[in-house]
Amino acid sequence: MSSPDSPSTSHPARAAGFALIGVALVALVIGVFTLFSGGGDGDRTATGPSSQPPTSGTASESPSATPPASTEQPPASTPAPTTTTDTPPPATSAPAQSGAATPPPDGQPTVAKPPVRVYNNSTISGLAAQAADDVERSGWDVADTGNYSQGQIPTTTVYYRPGTDEEESAKALATVMQARVEARFDGIQGAHDGIIVIVTNDYKGLQSTKK
């Protein structure tokens, strides 16, 4: 009686065994897949943080580059005051030039010598020409010679215009000619500029010719 029942009971047991084996294989495949997929993510996360430290290191290098730029600026400001010190020397040379112009006025030949006009008011012919020669030998220029017949001059006189440089020059010329020196009178007030010499009979010539 047991022989006919054994084939029917063994068939469902085999089916259940095959089902368990299939489930185990599927679980194994899933486990293997999960293992490999999880291992890949772990490697990527490990490489992520390791790349960050070099980035922070480069950031620390950037502030160190900034100080050298600031240290180079002070030397640039140093040559500036050096150029300002070059300005005083020209000022010292200016007074030296003004001092050089001072010596010439100290000499006696600073007296101006305006042109001289010599007129004869004597009875001696050619006396004006003679006096003109004496004037030129004394260092003055003679602009004109002639006769003065508008009146009688008492003595040989050198005339000048007051308030001009003719006065000092006329005094110097009068000393050389041994003559009197006076300001112009009304009769010759409107004559040409310069010194006027009117010689008379008492003209003695230059002082150097006096014996």
Q: What pLDDT score does 109 carry?
A: 52
Give the SS3 label for residue 157.
strand
36-83 pLDDT per residue, tens:
665 544 444 444 444 444 444 444 444 444 444 444 444 444 444 444
| Tokens 């040989």 belong to residue | 156
**Worst-scoring range by mean pLDDT, 91-105, 108-122, 168-182?**
91-105
Question: Is 163 within 8 Å of 198 (Cβ atoms)?
Answer: no
Q: Mean pLDDT throughout 142-168?
A: 96
User: Looking at the predicted structure, is the pLDDT value of residue 4 above 60?
Assistant: no
Q: Mean pLDDT throughout 7-13?
A: 57
**Worst-scoring range by mean pLDDT, 2-6, 49-53, 85-89, 99-103?**
99-103
Q: What pLDDT score does 208 carry?
A: 60
**Worst-scoring range by mean pLDDT, 27-31, 67-71, 95-99, 188-192?**
95-99
User: Looking at the predicted structure, is the pLDDT value of residue 195 above 70?
Assistant: yes
95-118 pLDDT per residue, tens:
333 333 333 344 445 678 999 999
User: DSSP class of residue 140?
Assistant: P
Tell me how far apart the alpha carbons of residues 171 and 41 are, in angstroms, rounded to a whole number. 126
Domain spans of the chain?
2-62, 110-209
**Worst-scoring range by mean pLDDT, 4-13, 15-24, 85-94, 182-191?**
85-94
Across-strand partners of 159? 182, 196
Distance from the first to the final alpha carbon of the chain: 204
> Would you give the distance in Å from CA 30 to the centre of its chain?
92
Percent residues over pLDDT 90 in the chain: 45
The CATH number given to 110-209 is 3.30.70.2390
Whole-prediction pTM: 0.49
User: Looking at the predicted structure, is the pLDDT value of residue 157 above 70?
Assistant: yes
